[in-house]
Amino acid sequence: MKTHHFVLVHGIGGGGWCWYKIRCLMENSGHRVSCIDLTSGGIDLTDADSIHSFDVYSKPLMDFMFVLPDQEQGVPDLSEFGDVYDLGFGLGADHPPTSALVKKQYQRTIIYHKSPQEDSTLAGMLLRPGPILAITSARFTEGQEDKLVPRVYIKTAHDRVVKPHQQDNMINKWPPSQVYVLETDHSPFFSSPFSLFGLLLKAASNYS
């Protein structure tokens, strides 16, 4: 069996810890796995309110990818839930918020509603504010180099953070090579780890 090196990156407020189920499945199958903590994520203790650019937020990932061998390189709408964020204003109250974290009482309802209770409890203990200003200010330009690495999209059909129609808009705006669908919430690494594991292996095999 051909093995692969998977580089797994968390979402806002999370950390490399959120991939623990997928990492175990992959490593037990002989694959290499790297779980990156972005700046202010996981065990990186940087204050999220001090991060104002996406380049700073993503620097740990870019640094990691830069040192890989050449052959390996490769805005949610939550209005229906009302005031669900705890916001940080590192630049002052008269400036846009610099960090955000879904309030503890809403985390299971919004992020983990199809995940095991013990996983949402773990996440509630480990989630930290994320640098929302850095993320909302990110800009990406499409070029020829974007076609060098095949992309796949795994759609989460019951996602309450990035709703299915929003995911469809993203897919249509920047079409990937392949779209897979999981009947999960926003966190398939908790709610459907075996299915996610299978799709990741399938994608890696199809495009390696």
Confidence at 2, pLDDT banded by 50, 70, 90: confident
Instruction: Please give the Cα distance from 22 to 194 (Å, whole number).
Output: 8
Kindly provide the b/e burial profile for residues 24-51, where b requires at least 16 CB atoms within 10 angstroms of the residue's own CB: ebbeeeebebbbbbbbbbbeeebebbbb
Contact status, residue 54 vs residue 60, Cβ threshold 8 Å: no
Instruction: Please give the Cα distance from 196 to 8 (Å, whole number).
Output: 12
Q: Is residue 172 classed exposed, middle or buried when 0-12, 13-18 and 19+ CB atoms within 10 A define those classes?
A: exposed
The string of pLDDT tens digits covering residues 17-69 is: 999 999 999 999 999 999 999 999 999 999 999 999 999 999 999 888 877 66
pTM: 0.83
Domain boundaries, the chain: 5-206
**Consecutive H or E run containing 104:** helix 104-110
The string of pLDDT tens digits covering residues 146-175 is: 677 788 999 999 999 999 999 999 999 889
Q: How many CB atoms lie within 10 A of CB 173?
A: 8
3-class state of residue 100 by DSSP: strand
Using alpha carbons only, give the angle 15, 66, 28 rounded to the nearest 5 degrees: 50
Q: Which residues are CB-neighbours of 74 under 8 A, at least 6 positions away? A: 149
Q: CA-CA-CA-CA torsion for 153, 100, 138, 65, nearest 10 degrees?
A: -60
The string of pLDDT tens digits covering residues 94-150 is: 998 999 999 999 999 999 999 999 999 999 999 999 999 998 888 777 666 667 778
Q: For 163, what's the count of Cα atoms within 13 Å in the CB-facing half-sphere?
A: 7
The CATH H-level (homologous superfamily) assignment of domain 5-206 is: Alpha/Beta hydrolase fold, catalytic domain (3.40.50.1820)
